[in-house]
Amino acid sequence: MIPIRDTNPSGTVPVVTYSLICVNIFFFLVQMSQGSNLPRFDYVYGLVPARYFTWEAYSYFGYLHQLLSFFSYMFLHGGFFHLLGNMWVLYVFGDNVEDRLGPYRYLAFYLLCGLASGLIHLIFNFRANIPVIGASGAIAGIMGAYFILYPSAKVLTLFPVIIIPFFFEIPAFVFLGLWFLIQFFNAAMTPAYASGVAWWAHVGGFAFGAVFLKFFGKIPDTGISRMTKQMTARRGTPRLQVIHAGGPPDDRNLYGNIEISSYESLRGATKIVNIPWGFQKRLYKVSVPPGTGDGNTLRLSGLGKISPDGGRGDVLLTVKVNGN
């Protein structure tokens, strides 16, 4: 179950989300440059519960270093796929939460969720001498906030069956609810110190994200925050769009709408569309020529219904320009 994209567009460019992704990639490259010193590097800058409950370790690292680990651990990762999975989920869900909270509150929210998830991991694994690293706890907080903010949004989800990809739209509360239950079940069923995955950090991050959202939502926007949101306002519609096409039973063509902005209407754009029809849920590339106006039609040849004579219709997309 892999999230591809949510169908809830954000009104601003998520500069903080993109920056967090870049920072995580940077520190992953720093990790990879450590060579044989990597285990020690992860132990020093990762979150090691035993360091906080053993006097020798606590006195060796010192107060400031122990505090630093609560933040540095969330920017380190255990491998390329660990990094890729976390950054992709942050990319999918982070933009809408950032759009709602604003960039500065969102950054504080992200760090606070990472801090809270680290504390939860310490409580349930206080004797563990293995460093926990990764942005999963902070990102779980983003998922918890999304669960509260946009429960009815749809998540385009990839279900790989052997080598065949199937795409389905799943309500966000179902996708995120299942994810949370899986984390909770694994946390409850896995003995302490027996797993290399910080299940309780995921559970705690998600729960605290939902709780912290209530407090952060009451903090008013500042003038700087409003100005930043205006500067980062999107000029285009989402690159990936899910189009529910249909048509009369006796018509082999399918009809749907595609959304573009006024800027894209003038300059042109390229979109990736998912057109669910029966068991066909493939992605298609659609080019919107410059000068395309509201009400114009784009034709995708040969992608419609199959007629009894074996011929195939087209998909006809009516252009909707935002604001018209």
Cα Rg, the chain, nearest whole Å = 23
121-142, pLDDT tens digit by residue?
A: 888 887 788 889 999 999 999 9
Q: What are phi and psi of 84, to 5 degrees?
A: -60, -45
Per-residue confidence (pLDDT) for residue 133, from 0 to 100: 93
Taking the C-alpha atoms of residue 62 and residue 32, their distance in angstroms, rounded to an integer, is: 26
CATH superfamily for 2-231 is Rhomboid-like (1.20.1540.10)
pLDDT at 324: 54
Please report, for residues 146, 173, 221, 317, the alpha-carbon distance to residue 259 in angstroms, rounded to integers and kept in the order given.
24, 25, 30, 10
pLDDT at 59: 66
Contact, 278 vs 268, CB < 8 A?
no
Q: For the chain, which ranges sit under pLDDT 50?
A: none
Q: What is the pLDDT of residue 144?
A: 96
Domains in the chain: boundaries: 2-231, 240-321
Q: Is 251 helix (H, G, I), strand (E, B) or coil?
A: coil
pLDDT at position 262: 86
The pLDDT value given to residue 191? 67
Q: How many residues does the chain have?
A: 324
> What CATH fold (topology level) applies to the domain 240-321?
HSP40/DNAj peptide-binding domain (2.60.260)
Residue 233: DSSP 8-state: B
pLDDT at 57: 65
Tens digits of per-residue pLDDT, 222-277? Answer: 777 777 777 777 777 878 788 888 888 888 888 999 988 888 898 898 998 877 76
Q: pTM (2 decimals)?
A: 0.79
